[in-house]
Each structure stands twice: as structure tokens, then as C-alpha cells.
Amino acid sequence: MSNNYKLTVQREATVRVLLENEANHMSAEEIFLRVKQKHPEIGLATVYRTLELLTDLHIVEKMNFGDRVARFDLRNDDHEHMHHHLICSVCGKMKEIKEDWLLELEKRLEREYGFLVKDHRLEFTGTYLTCPKNCKRVNKAAS
């Protein structure tokens, strides 16, 4: 941990769940259920406090994909910024984009406006052409 915070059993268990499920973007409740499997003594409030601390320390990123559920994702030191997401508004499927397509825009913002971007997040909401629920909706509309 950083900023002189100790790595407690509760914090380690929470981080371990995030590491083991990195691609899942889990909610606090989902993280709690996984933590509880190995550490039944750890409560939901403890997991919430741990996630807030990890967010404050920039170890995890708190995100919302429009479904009113806060989700948590480990920050990656390999990238200067967070990755981006494609989110299907019909079925909820999500795909990560690891490439940073906004670097040129950031340089332009600094050059033209004197604004230095520290971080950004980009989410595309739409529908996958392969979304089974989208196909049902399209077929109903065509009928």
C-alpha cells in the first residue's frame, strides 16, 4: 500500500479479488461475495471502505457504465491513462480498448488551451451487431 497505509488482511483480500477478476469490472457487492468465500469474517462495510481507500490512493478506478452501479477496476501502470470501454446498451456486454486514441487530442489541448490532461475516461455506448438481444429487438421492429 502507499501513503503509509498498512496492507491489512481485508485490503489484501479485496485487492486479490480484483486481481483475480481483472476483466470483470465488479461491483462492491460482487467483490464482497468473492472476498467472503475465503474470509467469511470480512463484512460488506469493510469492503466498501477498502474500495473507497483504494480509489483515493488511485489503486483502483471507480466507474459507472450507466446502470447506476459503481464498478471497480485496477489501475494499470503500463498505461498513462485508464483504458476505454465499449458498452452494449441492450445486453450490457462490455469490451475494453487498451489503446489510447486521445493522445493527440491531449497534446492539442495543452498547445491551444494551456490545459494539461492528467487522466481521461472514454466510454462508447451502443449496440453490438452480434448482440442476441439486439437481434430480437430488430426482428420485432421489422415485423
Instruction: CATH number of the domain at 102, please.
Output: 3.30.1490.190
Angle at 10 between CA 94 and CA 73, to 5 degrees: 20
Question: Which pLDDT does position 103 carry in this prediction?
Answer: 82
Q: Is residue 142 in a domain?
A: no
Q: Dump pLDDT digits (tens) for 69-86.
A: 788 887 765 545 556 778
* pLDDT for 66 beyond 50: yes
**Which structural domain, as residue segments, surrounds residue 113?**
79-129
Q: In the structure grid, which three cell numbers stand for residue 77, read together?
A: 501502470
Give the separation between CA 41 and CA 126, rounded to whole angstroms: 41
Mean pLDDT of 88-102: 76
* pLDDT for 35 beyond 90: yes
Q: Is residue 134 in a domain?
A: no
Question: Which pLDDT does position 78 carry in this prediction?
Answer: 52
* pLDDT for 104 beyond 60: yes
Question: Which pLDDT does position 110 carry in this prediction?
Answer: 92
* pLDDT for 134 beyond 70: no
Q: How many domains does the chain have?
A: 2
Give the separation between CA 59 and CA 48, rounded to whole angstroms: 14
Q: In the structure grid, which three cell numbers stand for residue 3, read together?
A: 501513503
Q: Is residue 141 in a domain?
A: no
Mean pLDDT of 98-108: 82
**Of 64, 57, 61, 94, residue with least CA distance to 75:** 61
> Residue 24 region, left (φ>0) first, then alpha (ψ -120 to 50), else beta?
alpha
Give the separation between CA 12 and CA 21, rounded to whole angstroms: 14
* pLDDT for 142 beyond 50: no
